[in-house]
């Protein structure tokens, strides 16, 4: 049975872990991608954009956590880490192949030239970004699944 509170907690935690992963990748020079900054750029620049980006990132994590939780329940998952990682792999592939190219067509800051379009699997953010995008979503799913099933 779906546990919304567990999904919210798991979604926020998994989103924060995802942000730590991408922050480490940026610090090591492996990518220039920042999901929080990309989302925040829709609100303009400065602190308002930064806050807006973080809020959108965490809200997205919660929404995806509810979707994952529905999948866990439908699949009768007993190993949240493993099933979450598997769903995360699919999530990452869809994000890279479909969502990232759409960002270039729809994001107001891309259209105005303030930020660069990420491209297919966010390749424009660095050669290692496509792999990081997929691995980040696998990590997101594993953390989400582990926490959700522990709390549900």
pLDDT tens digit sequence for 20-33: 999 999 999 999 99
Which residues neighbour 142 within 8 Å (Cβ) at sequence distance 6 or greater? 81, 82, 84, 85, 88
Asked if the model's pLDDT at residue 115 lies above 90, the reply is no
**128 secondary structure, DSSP code:** T
Read off the pTM. 0.94
pLDDT at 131: 97
Integer Cα distance of 70 and 40 in angstroms: 28
Nearest-5° Cα angle at 45, 93 to 22: 35
pLDDT for 112? 87
């Amino acid at each position: 049975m779906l546990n919304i509170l567990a999904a919210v907690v798991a979604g926020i935690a998994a989103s924060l872990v995802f942000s730590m992963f991408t922050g480490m990748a940026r610090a090591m020079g492996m990518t220039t991608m920042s999901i929080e900054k990309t989302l925040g750029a829709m609100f303009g620049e400065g602190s308002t954009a930064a806050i807006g980006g973080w809020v959108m990132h965490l809200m997205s994590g919660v929404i995806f956590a509810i979707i994952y939780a529905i999948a866990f329940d439908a699949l009768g998952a007993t190993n949240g880490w493993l099933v979450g990682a598997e769903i995360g792999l699919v999530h990452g592939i869809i994000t890279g192949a479909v969502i990232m190219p759409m960002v270039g067509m729809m994001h107001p800051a891309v259209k105005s030239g303030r930020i660069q379009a990420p491209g297919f699997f966010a390749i424009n953010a660095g050669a290692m970004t496509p792999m990081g995008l997929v691995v980040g979503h696998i990590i997101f799913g594993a953390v989400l699944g582990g926490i959700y099933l522990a709390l549900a």
